Amino acid sequence: MTGLQDIKSALRRAAVDGIAPGDVRASSDAEKTLADLSDMIAATVLPRQIILRPKTGPTLTLSGDSARLHHIQSSDGTVNLDVKDAEEAAKLLRDAIEQGGHVVLRIHAVDSHGATRSRGIAASQLRTALGVSEPAEDTDPLAQLEAGLPSGTRTALEITDGGFDLLRGDASEAAELAEWAAPMLDTLLAETSPLASAMETQGQLALGWPGDNGRHIRIAGRLGHIVVASVDGAMTAV
Amino acid sequence: MQAADLSRLRARLPACELAAYVDIGAGTVLASDGALTYPQEYLDVLRDCAALVFSVPNDDGIFDHAMVQTPTGSRVFIRDPNAPDLVICCICAPWLVLSDLLSETRQILAELDAAALQGSQTVEAARG
């Protein structure tokens, strides 16, 4: 079973990369947008730019890393703020979001924040200033993965350092599935894989054969755990 | 498949923010249509994702569709049944109904096949 021992460590590496660049959240609900924005900043590890594009008003570019917000800049040049005061940043963001109507948030990777980097404020300070409640504590990631398995799951296994643990179904089918999954996971979680970071904490890959009602395969990752499942029935979004 | 066809597909699928038609064999992006203008690098990454998810064969035959799902949205990849190296890639909102996307994409591909067949018959008739 080639490479299985590397898979967990690869997923852990991916897990420290924050929210996947390119991810988008959009809402007309200001409170939801503020909560999403707080989550995005809290999840940053490497340097990220968060683009806040309201339907009306200038676009804001937020620079963050290490769960801190450092800088806010507006597209019309009226805001160029090295963030030092959480209340000031919160007011600016709340005004932009409440007046902006439908707001799109998009996160980008950047090499560094260069000259724009200041000490900034912690995501928790911003959350408090915005009046956004702390996210609920995550329960056991493997239990969450198991709970998320579709009802038609025939076989499910967790990839471990030495092989796999059977979660559901027949052991020989699981062994075949694990053998197939090994090269797939090596590719999926490789350093150069554009999907490694998408699988970081809550990513799922589903693969289907021709025909809408056949079997499909799901690979789900969450905080260093990875589950592979063979599922009877049509592939659906979860 | 041209940008106008992808635009037609997106018009039927409000959850679809970007659609691209890529050749994973040749490593090229052939056409795209999106709610925003996306840089080429972004489309190239989407093409790389398509190549990656279809890179590992299976004893039960090749996969013809795949979906990468995160809480913030989905990336869906659908192979052209007549040319498996050609893939329609879609970036969609979390509220995507996958079955709608699959059926609309296959409908567009069928329409294009029918138009191509009609075109070739017209050429043959003109030659005859």
- Cβ of A204 within 8 Å of Cβ of B68? The answer is yes
- pLDDT at position A14: 47
C-alpha gyration radius of chain B:
15
Q: Rounded to an integer, what distance in angstroms lies between the CA atom of residue A178 and that of residue A100?
A: 48
Domain span at B114 = 3-127
Higher pLDDT, A114 or A38: A38
Residue A13's pLDDT band, with cuts at 50, 70 and 90, is: very low
Comparing CB atoms, the residue among A19, A195, A208 nearest residue B68 is A195
CATH number for position B90: 3.30.450.30
Report chain A residues whose CB lies below 8 A from the CB of B41: none
Whether the Cβ atoms of residue A75 and residue A11 lie closer than 8 Å to each other: no
Determine the residue of chain A that is closest to B66 in CA distance: A207
Interface test with B, best of A102, A105, A207 (most B CBs within 10 A): A207
Amino acid identity for residue A14 in this structure: A
Chains A & B: contacts with CB separation below 8 Å: 89
B53 and A CB contact within 8 Å: yes
Per the CB < 8 A criterion, the answer to whether A96 and A54 are in contact is yes
Please give the structure tokens belonging to residue B33.
């249509």
Give the whole-angstrom CA distance, residue B70 versus residue A39. Answer: 14
Nearest Cα neighbor of A235 from A211, A203, A199 is A211
> Rounded CA gap, A101 and A28, in Å?
6
A193 interface with B at CB cutoff 8 Å: yes
- Confidence bin at A86 (pLDDT 50/70/90): very high
Suggest the residue from A19, A24, A213, A219 to mutate for an interface test with chain B (most B CBs closer than 10 A): A24
Confidence of residue A110 (pLDDT cuts 50, 70, 90): confident
Per DSSP, A118 falls in state -
pLDDT at residue number B73: 81
Whether B119 shows a pLDDT value over 80: the answer reads: no
Instruction: Name the residue in chain B with its Cα closest to that of A183.
Output: B56
Query: Cβ contacts (< 8 Å) between B48 and chain A: which residues?
Result: 194
Say which DSSP state B71 is in: T
Residue type, A1: M
* B73 contact residues in A (CB cutoff 8 A): 23-24
In degrees, rounded to 5, the angle at the alpha carbon of residue A11 between the alpha carbons of residues A7 and A16 is 150
Tens digit of each residue's pLDDT (9 = 90 or more) over A172-203: 999 999 988 888 888 888 878 888 777 766 78
Residues in chain A: 238
Q: In the predicted model, what is the mean pLDDT of residues B85-98?
A: 89
Whether A77 has a pLDDT exceeding 50, the answer reads yes
Q: Of B31, B50, B32, nearest to A193 (Cα)? A: B50
Residue B92 to residue B14: CA distance in whole angstroms: 9
Q: How far B119 CA lies from chain A's nearest CA (Å)?
A: 28
* B71/A202 Cβ within 8 A: yes
3-state helix, strand, coil in chain A (%, to 5): 30, 30, 40
pLDDT at position A16 is: 45
Model pTM? 0.63
SS3 letters across A188-203: HCCCCCCCCCCCCCCC
Q: Higher model confidence: residue B61 or residue A48?
A: A48
Determine, for residues B61 and A210 on separate chains, whether the beta-carbon distance falls below 8 Å: yes
Q: Which residue has the tokens 């398995």?
A: A149
Interchain proximity B56–A187, CB inside 8 Å: yes
CA distance, residue B12 to nearest chain A CA (Å):
18
| Contact at CB, A237 and B102, closer than 8 angstroms | no
The verdict on B61 touching A (C-beta cutoff 8 Å) is yes
ipTM: 0.85
Identify which has the larger pLDDT, B16 or B117.
Answer: B16
Q: Pick the range with the lowest mean pLDDT from A86-90, A110-114, A198-202, B99-103.
A: A110-114
d(CA A6, CA B11): 43
Positive or negative, the Cα torsion across B52, B58, B60, B62? Answer: positive
Instruction: Tell me which chain B residues have a C-beta less than 8 angstroms from the C-beta of A19.
Output: 72
Q: For A105-118, what is the mean pLDDT?
A: 67
Question: What is the least distance, in Å, from the CA of B106 to any CA of chain A?
Answer: 11
pLDDT 10s digits, A23-70? 677 777 888 889 889 988 887 777 788 999 888 889 999 998 878 899
**Whole-angstrom distance, CA of residue A9 vs CA of residue B85:** 32
Q: Using CB atoms within 10 A of its CB, is residue A224 exposed (0-12), middle (13-18) or buried (19+)?
A: middle
Higher per-residue pLDDT: A100 or A202:
A100
Whether residue A209 and residue B64 make contact (CB cut-off 8 A), yes or no, is yes
Q: How far apart are CA B17 and CA B90, in angstroms?
A: 7
pLDDT given at position A93? 93
**Interchain contact B124–A (C-beta under 8 A):** no
- B87: confidence class by pLDDT, cuts 50, 70, 90: very high
Q: Which residue has the higher pLDDT, A117 or A205?
A: A205
Worst-scoring range by mean pLDDT, A15-24, A68-77, A85-94, B45-54?
A15-24
Domain count, chain B: 1
Å from B62 to nearest chain A CA? 7
| Helical H segments across A120-197, by residue range | 123-130, 141-147, 171-188
Nearest to A21 by CA among B96, B6, B75, B87: B75
What strands, in cross-sheet order, belong to the sheet with A216-222?
A: A164-168, A153-159, A225-231, A216-222, A204-208, B65-70, B73-80, B83-92, B16-23, B28-34
Q: Tell me the per-residue pLDDT of A126-140, one tens digit each, with 9 for 90 and over.
A: 999 999 887 665 567
